[in-house]
Amino acid sequence: MKATFPHMGRMDIFIKGIVKALGMEAVVPPTSSKKALNLGVKYAPEFVCLPFKLMLGNLIEAFERGADTVIMVSDRGPCRLGLYGLPMQIILKNLGYEANWLILNTPHALHGLFQLGIEKEVVKYRDKLTFVDGLLAFHFGWKKMLAIEEIERLSLKIRPYEINKGDTTKGLYQGMEAIESADNLYDLKKAKDAVIKDLRSIPQDRNRRPLKIAIAGEIFVVLDSFANLDIEKKLGELGCEVDRTIWFSTHILHHVGLDKFMRRSKGKAVRAARPYLKHPVGAECNATVGYAILYAEEGYDGFIHLMPFTCMPEFVAGAVLTRVSKDYNIPIFTVELEEHSSQTHLMTRLEAFVDLLKRKRQKRQGLEGSRGD
């Protein structure tokens, strides 16, 4: 069995860790690129969203590497992610790629992962693997994912202070490689600790006062740096401290009901949005609106809303966010992403947004100073 899966942020490290721990071969697609996107655009329906096209391109490249089994995430509700599996199977079959499919439908995705390697129609290991094997494999993959997210969070805090532009990004990528190569929990902890030490040793100017910006929106484009044109890196190098609302771990914890006591859980965000959205719209819509409110109340300078072009739930969120921006006096910038999105165009718009936030902060500080006089 050669299992593959489409990219969504660094989900590959999580699933690859599980697959390898179960003694199977993981065929990881090449990192998402223009080639993968072009393949997806070529074979996908024209008006389907960017995540579908990128995932399809990932799978085509994985099949070219010999994959014969696909692990595909799914979901419920108006988000079309829940429908991706079947049309992808049809498209790939028409291209001559036959495969076994394991579709993980949240909130039952964890059960599906435990069954990986045990289901008769997927692999023939029923007598070789047990539930305990699945549990241990999941634990190792989970620990790897948490390690990756820990250094990603740290990089978001350090990047706006770095003296030499690019040091943080270089250290982050090297750290991800070190963590990904760890084959056991001892090596994993050792690698993570070394990466954290290296990141903290990056020369920094702590006299800076970076703008604080939160990023929310549709889960795929928030998590995937290729899909969002490396927006976190761009903002950090513009002197902004970024806080991402969605992580793969928090998404899983929410679906199994273990995020209730987190400072900014998805449930809290959904409740915060109730004055504007009385009913669940689907996908991340309600949470996106709620996060804008929560971060505004915490005094953040700005809020960025990421969404794939044609994403219905996030279009609803974007309409509501216009009202939230006025009610809570927080600038909100919505970015619609599709295959024609341009790095240069996004950078120009980000620079304008950051300049707006700086002027707003200066104006606020001037008013506060005049009151003090």
- DSSP string covering 19-79, please? HHHTT-EE-PPPPP-HHHHHHHHHHS-TTS-HHHHHHHHHHHHHHHTT--EEEEEE--SSS
3-state helix, strand, coil in the chain (%, to 5): 55, 10, 35
pLDDT of residue 294: 98
CA distance 270 to 137: 32
Of 315, 320, 312, 332, the residue nearest 272 (C-alpha): 320
End-to-end CA, the chain: 73
Cβ-contact 76, 89 below 8 angstroms: no
Of 142, 141, 117, 301, the residue nearest 213 (C-alpha): 301
CA distance 262 to 362: 32
pLDDT of residue 172: 97
Residue 10 has pLDDT above 90, yes or no: no
Task: Point out which residues pair with 338 in neighbouring strands.
Answer: none
Cβ neighbours for 164, distance < 8 A, ≥ 6 positions apart: 202, 203
Cβ-contact 321, 305 below 8 angstroms: yes
Question: Per residue in 136-183, pLDDT tens?
Answer: 888 888 999 999 999 999 999 999 999 999 999 999 999 999 999 998
Identify the CATH number of the domain defined by range 2-129: 3.40.50
Q: How far is CA 245 from CA 40, 59, 61, 160, 262, in A?
A: 27, 27, 30, 18, 12
Model confidence, pTM: 0.90
Cβ neighbours for 194, distance < 8 A, ≥ 6 positions apart: 178
Residue 122 has pLDDT above 50, yes or no: no
pLDDT of residue 238: 97
CATH for 209-372 (3.40.190.10, 3.30.1300.30, 3.40.50.11900, 1.25.60.10) = 3.40.50.11900
CA distance 85 to 74: 7
Ranges of each domain in the chain: 2-129, 144-207, 209-372
Task: Give the pLDDT mean for 287-316.
Answer: 96
Cβ neighbours for 108, distance < 8 A, ≥ 6 positions apart: none
Which pLDDT band holds residue 317 (cuts at 50, 70, 90)? very high
Residue 111 has pLDDT above 60, yes or no: no
Alpha helix stretches (DSSP H) within 106-206: 109-115, 131-158, 167-180, 185-200
Cβ-contact 105, 74 below 8 angstroms: yes
CA distance 210 to 204: 12
